[in-house]
Amino acid sequence: MKKKVKENVGILDAFMRITLGYTLLSMGQKKDSGWMTVLGSLKIAEGITRFCPVLHLLGRNTVKGSFCKDIMDDIERVMED
């Protein structure tokens, strides 16, 4: 039985990650920079799978605008204090 990873990256965010990933990947290849190539590959993978481990660890989600809602909730909470 296949286990599906819950998506936590919205579609616009995914397109941005893929674009940034290809940019970093090509720059890393041109400048012979291993870390830039790896980072670009990771961003492409995050965009394709629509899962980001960092967002998962932070408990954030950019699907359907929930990331903006979380930020606004945080701002309102700070303003109340």
Q: Is the pTM of this model over 0.75?
A: no
Instruction: Determine whether 34 is exposed, middle or buried from the number of CB atoms within 10 Å of its CB (0-12, 13-18, 19+).
Output: exposed
| Cα separation, 18 vs 22, whole angstroms | 6
**57, burial (CB in 10 Å: exposed 0-12, middle 13-18, buried 19+):** exposed
Q: Specify the pLDDT at position 67.
A: 57
Could you tell me the residue ranges of all domains in the chain? 11-80
Q: Which of 5-9, 15-19, 57-61, 67-71 has the lowest mean pLDDT?
A: 67-71
Tens of pLDDT along 9-50?
A: 988 889 999 999 999 999 999 999 999 999 999 999 999 999
pLDDT of residue 81 exceeding 90, the answer is no
pLDDT of 72 reads 66
